[in-house]
Chains A and B, each alone.
Chain A
């Protein structure tokens, strides 16, 4: 099976702009989660989508939003970018198993100037 893919891999934006990141899960996986990873805060949960519905949400401002399509692909959007949004954004998919095991993509490295 192909793994989780994320596009783009690298992105440079300026403050105030918005950005959309894309994630394609492993075939058959219906749950997609997004995480922000920074050296200071580690891996922080943004949100999870399952069958096109947001199932869980982390403690991030409303500038961070996401959606999931009927083919389980997911997008994440960040509006009005701030310098502190510079991070590695990771997408993970999981199957409907009992332990919520995450299969991560390689991430999108976002730099906000």
Chain B
């Protein structure tokens, strides 16, 4: 059974701080996705990473895929209150199978 471990589970920081959240597995992903979910809404896709070592940037968010394609990280620079939400990673292990989601990191950014 493939598992995706996300850490930390909860994170509470002040506006302007930097943070990193992690997504790890013992299995190799064919691709990995990051989503953000705000209260009362469904998750929204932020990025898909495919190649080992790949780095993608989305404004203040930087996503990295591990060289071995077993782990990923999300780094937020100078967090804002609008970054508050649940961050989920999801791994695609094999074409045609369902995505496996981690339990998420709940981020709270206060002003």
A-side residues, CB < 8 A to B, are 4, 33, 35, 41-45, 48, 55-56, 58, 90, 92, 98-107
**Contact indicator A99/B42 (Cβ below 8 Å):** no
For residue B11, CB closer than 8 A to chain A, the reply is no
Chain A residue contacts of B97, Cβ below 8 A: 56
> Does chain A have a CB within 8 A of B101?
yes
**Chief secondary structure at chain A's binding surface:** strand
Looking at the complex, which one of A45, A90, A102 makes contact with B45 (CB distance below 8 Å)? Answer: A102
Q: Residue among A56, A102, A105 with the most chain B CB within 10 A?
A: A102
Q: Give the CA-CA distance A56 to B93 in the complex, in Å.
A: 14
Q: How distant is A73 from chain B, measured CB to nearest CB, in Å? A: 17
CA A41 to CA B44, docked complex, whole Å: 19
Can you name the residue of chain A whose Cβ is closest to the Cβ of B44?
A: A104
> B residues engaging A (CB < 8 A)?
31, 33, 35, 40-45, 48, 50, 88, 90, 92, 95-104
How many A-B residue contacts, CB cutoff 8 Å?
Answer: 59
Answer whether A100 and B99 are a contact pair too, CB < 8 Å, given A92-B42, A105-B42, A106-B41.
Answer: yes
| Closest chain A residue to B31, Cβ basis | A99
**Which one of A4, A41, A42 lies within 8 Å of B42 (CB-CB)?**
A4
Q: Are A106 and B42 in contact (CB under 8 A)?
A: yes
Pick from B43, B88, B103 the residue with the most CB of A within 10 Å.
B43
- Knowing that A43-B88, A45-B101 touch, tell me 12 more A-B residue pairs with CB under 8 angstroms: A33-B98, A44-B101, A90-B42, A90-B43, A99-B31, A99-B48, A100-B31, A100-B99, A101-B48, A102-B33, A102-B35, A102-B99
Q: State which of B44, B92, B98, B101 has its C-beta within 8 Å of the C-beta of A42.
A: B101
State whether B44 touches A99 (Cβ < 8 A): no
